[in-house]
A and B are shown apart, each in its own frame.
Chain A
Amino acid sequence: MEHIRTPKVENVRLVDGISSKKAALGTLYLTATHVIFVENAPDTRKETWILHSQISTIEKQATTATGCPLLVRCKNFQLLQLVIPQERDCHDVYISLLRLARPVKYEELYCFSFNPKLDREEREQGWMLIDLSEEYKRMGLPNNYWQLSDVNRDYRVCDSYPTQLYVPKSATAHIIVGSSKFRSRRRFPALSYYYKDNHVSICRSSQPLSGFSARCLEDEQMLQAIRKASPGSDFIYVVDTRPKLNAMANRAAGKGYENEDNYSNIKFQFIGIENIHVMRNSLQKMLEVCELKSPSMSDFLWGLENSGWLRHIKAIMDAGIFIAKAVSEEGASVLVHCSDGWDRTAQACSVAGLLLDPHYRTLKGFMVLIEKDWISFGHKFNHRYGNLDGDPREISPVIDQFIECVWQLMEQFPCAFEFNERFLIHIQHHIYSCQFGNFLCNSQKERQELKIQERTYSLWAHLWKNRGDYLNPLFRDDPSQTQGTLHLPTMPCNFMYKFWSGMYNRFEKGLQPRQSVTDYLMAVKEETQQLEEELEALEERLERIQKVQLNRTQVKSKQSEPSKHSGFSTSDNSTANTPQDYSGNMKSFPSRSPSQGDEDSALILTQDNLKSSDPDLSANSDQESGVEDLSCRSPSGGECVPGEDSGKDRDSDEAVFLTA
Chain B
Amino acid sequence: MEFSELIRTGQAQAELLRGPEMPPLRGTLCVTGHHLLLSPGPQATPDLWLLLLRSVDSIEKRVAGDAGTITLRCKDLRVLQLDIEGVEATLDIARSIEALSSLESVITSFPFFYRPKGLRLGESWHFHPPERYYKRVARETRAWRLSEANEDFSLCPSYPRAVIVPRTVDDDALARSARFRQGGRFPVLSYYHAPSGTVLLRSSQPLTGPQKRRCAEDEELLQAVLAGARPGARGFIVDTRSAQAAKQARMTGGGTEAKSAYPGWKRLHRPLERGRPLQESFVHLVEACGDLEQSMDRWLSRLDGCHWLSHVKAALSTACLAAQGMEWEGACILVHGAEGTDSTLLVTSLAQLILDPLSRTMAGFQELIEREWIQHEAPIFLLFLDCVWQLGRQFPLSLEFGEGMLLALFDHSYASPFGTFLCNSEKERCLCEVRTRTHSLWSGLNQPKEQRKLRNPLYAPNPLAIWPSVEPQSLRLWQGLFLRWTHPPEPSEVAWEKVWQIATDQEKTEGSQPTDSASEPQP
Query: Contacts A413-B491, A492-B292, A573-B462: A511 and B398 contacting too (C-beta < 8 A)?
Result: no
CA of A48 to CA of B519, assembled, Å: 46
CA of A498 to CA of B20, assembled, Å: 24
For chain A, residues 558 to 611, give those with C-beta under 8 angstroms from any C-beta of chain B.
Answer: 564-565, 568-569, 572-573, 576-580, 582-584, 586, 588-589, 591-592, 594
Complex interface bits, A303-318 against B, C-beta within 8 A gives 1, otherwise 0? 0110000110010000
Whether the pair B296, A497 counts as a contact (CB closer than 8 A) is yes
Whether the pair B502, A525 counts as a contact (CB closer than 8 A) is yes
Whether the pair B486, A297 counts as a contact (CB closer than 8 A) is no
State which of B21, B324, B357, B393 has its C-beta within 8 Å of the C-beta of A513: B393
State which of A310, A516, A592, A658 has its C-beta within 8 Å of the C-beta of B522: A658
Contacts of A588 in B (CB 8 A): 236, 268, 321, 325
CA of A103 to CA of B277, assembled, Å: 57
State which of B298, B320, B357, B488 has its C-beta within 8 Å of the C-beta of A582: B320
Residues of A in contact with B, size category:
35 or more
Residues of B in contact with A, size category:
35 or more
Contacts of A476 in B (CB 8 A): 494, 498
The verdict on B304 contacting chain A, using a C-beta distance below 8 Å, is yes
Contacts of A586 in B (CB 8 A): 268
Report the minimal beta-carbon distance from A526 to chain B, rounded to whole angstroms: 10
Whether the pair B491, A517 counts as a contact (CB closer than 8 A) is no
The verdict on B132 contacting chain A, using a C-beta distance below 8 Å, is no
Contacts of B499 in A (CB 8 A): 474, 517, 521
Complex interface bits, B294-336 against A, C-beta within 8 A gives 1, otherwise 0? 1111111101100101100100011011011101110000000
Query: Contacts A298-B310, A525-B502, A660-B463: A501 and B474 contacting too (C-beta < 8 A)?
Result: yes
Query: Contacts A476-B494, A660-B195: A495 and B477 contacting too (C-beta < 8 A)?
Result: yes
The verdict on A295 contacting chain B, using a C-beta distance below 8 Å, is yes
Report the minimal beta-carbon distance from B122 to chain A, rounded to whole angstroms: 32
CA of A658 to CA of B297, assembled, Å: 52
Contacts of B307 in A (CB 8 A): 297
The verdict on B22 contacting chain A, using a C-beta distance below 8 Å, is no
Whether the pair A528, B491 counts as a contact (CB closer than 8 A) is no
Query: Contacts A290-B473, A528-B506: A414 and B492 contacting too (C-beta < 8 A)?
Result: yes
State which of A311, A499, A520 has its C-beta within 8 Å of the C-beta of B296: A311
Whether the pair A501, B473 counts as a contact (CB closer than 8 A) is yes
CA of A20 to CA of B471, assembled, Å: 13
Report the minimal beta-carbon distance from A222 to chain B, rounded to whole angstroms: 35
The tally of CB-CB contacts under 8 A between chains A and B is 213
Complex interface bits, B257-300 against A, C-beta within 8 A gives 1, otherwise 0? 00000000000100000000000000000000100111111111
The verdict on A412 contacting chain B, using a C-beta distance below 8 Å, is yes
Report the minimal beta-carbon distance from A584 to chain B, rounded to whole angstroms: 7
The verdict on A491 contacting chain B, using a C-beta distance below 8 Å, is yes
Whether the pair B472, A582 counts as a contact (CB closer than 8 A) is no
Contacts of B394 in A (CB 8 A): 513-515
CA of A584 to CA of B18, assembled, Å: 46
Whether the pair A592, B236 counts as a contact (CB closer than 8 A) is no
Whether the pair B397, A569 counts as a contact (CB closer than 8 A) is yes
Report the minimal beta-carbon distance from B50 to chain A, rounded to whole angstroms: 26
The residue in chain A whose Cβ has the minimal distance to the Cβ of B460 is A569
Whether the pair A573, B464 counts as a contact (CB closer than 8 A) is yes
Contacts of B324 in A (CB 8 A): 579, 582-583, 589
Whether the pair A576, B465 counts as a contact (CB closer than 8 A) is yes
CA of A327 to CA of B296, assembled, Å: 25
The verdict on B495 contacting chain A, using a C-beta distance below 8 Å, is yes
The verdict on A557 contacting chain B, using a C-beta distance below 8 Å, is no
Whether the pair A656, B463 counts as a contact (CB closer than 8 A) is yes
Contacts of B172 in A (CB 8 A): none
Report the minimal beta-carbon distance from B202 to chain A, rounded to whole angstroms: 19
CA of A527 to CA of B506, assembled, Å: 8
CA of A414 to CA of B502, assembled, Å: 14
CA of A651 to CA of B488, assembled, Å: 42
Contacts of A489 in B (CB 8 A): 21, 487-488
Contacts of A527 in B (CB 8 A): 506
Report the minimal beta-carbon distance from B469 to chain A, rounded to whole angstroms: 5
CA of A531 to CA of B505, assembled, Å: 11
The verdict on A510 contacting chain B, using a C-beta distance below 8 Å, is yes
Whether the pair A576, B506 counts as a contact (CB closer than 8 A) is no
Contacts of A154 in B (CB 8 A): none
Whether the pair B474, A297 counts as a contact (CB closer than 8 A) is no
Contacts of B297 in A (CB 8 A): 305, 311
The verdict on A330 contacting chain B, using a C-beta distance below 8 Å, is no
Whether the pair B502, A521 counts as a contact (CB closer than 8 A) is yes
Contacts of B20 in A (CB 8 A): 490-491
The residue in chain B whose Cβ has the minimal distance to the Cβ of A589 is B329
Report the minimal beta-carbon distance from A457 to chain B, rounded to whole angstroms: 34
Report the minimal beta-carbon distance from B361 to chain A, rounded to whole angstroms: 11
Whether the pair B495, A474 counts as a contact (CB closer than 8 A) is yes
Contacts of A510 in B (CB 8 A): 469, 471
Query: Contacts A527-B506, A589-B328: A295 and B483 contacting too (C-beta < 8 A)?
Result: no
The verdict on A539 contacting chain B, using a C-beta distance below 8 Å, is no
Whether the pair B463, A653 counts as a contact (CB closer than 8 A) is yes
CA of A314 to CA of B301, assembled, Å: 16
CA of A513 to CA of B468, assembled, Å: 8
Contacts of A656 in B (CB 8 A): 463
State which of B473, B477, B486, B506 has its C-beta within 8 Å of the C-beta of A491: B486
The verdict on B461 contacting chain A, using a C-beta distance below 8 Å, is yes
Complex interface bits, A176-218 against B, C-beta within 8 A gives 1, otherwise 0? 0000000000000000000000000000000000000000000
The residue in chain B whose Cβ has the minimal distance to the Cβ of A509 is B469
Query: Contacts A302-B300, A579-B328: A19 and B471 contacting too (C-beta < 8 A)?
Result: yes
The verdict on B510 contacting chain A, using a C-beta distance below 8 Å, is yes
The residue in chain B whose Cβ has the minimal distance to the Cβ of A565 is B510
The verdict on B378 contacting chain A, using a C-beta distance below 8 Å, is no
Report the minimal beta-carbon distance from B465 to chain A, rounded to whole angstroms: 6
The verdict on A63 contacting chain B, using a C-beta distance below 8 Å, is no
Query: Contacts A565-B506, A573-B462, A653-B463: A296 and B301 contacting too (C-beta < 8 A)?
Result: no
Most chain A CB atoms below 10 A, which of B299, B479, B505: B299
The verdict on A494 contacting chain B, using a C-beta distance below 8 Å, is yes
Query: Contacts A521-B458, A573-B462, A582-B321: A495 and B289 contacting too (C-beta < 8 A)?
Result: yes
Most chain B CB atoms below 10 A, which of A481, A491, A495, A531: A495
For chain A, residues 395 to 446, give those with C-beta under 8 angstroms from any C-beta of chain B.
Answer: 412-416
Report the minimal beta-carbon distance from A309 to chain B, rounded to whole angstroms: 10
State which of A297, A415, A516 has its C-beta within 8 Å of the C-beta of B494: A415
Q: A300-B472, A491-B292, A565-B506 are in contact. List 13 more A-B contacts (CB 8 A).
A: A295-B472, A299-B472, A314-B296, A473-B502, A474-B495, A481-B494, A490-B20, A491-B20, A492-B293, A492-B294, A493-B487, A576-B467, A660-B195
Q: List 24 A-B contacts (CB under 8 A).
A: A295-B471, A297-B304, A297-B309, A298-B310, A300-B472, A300-B473, A301-B300, A301-B303, A305-B301, A415-B498, A492-B296, A493-B487, A494-B296, A495-B487, A511-B471, A569-B460, A573-B463, A579-B323, A579-B327, A580-B320, A582-B470, A591-B329, A654-B461, A660-B195
Top 4 A-B residue pairs of the complex, sorted by shortest distance between their CB atoms = A569-B460, A300-B472, A305-B300, A301-B304
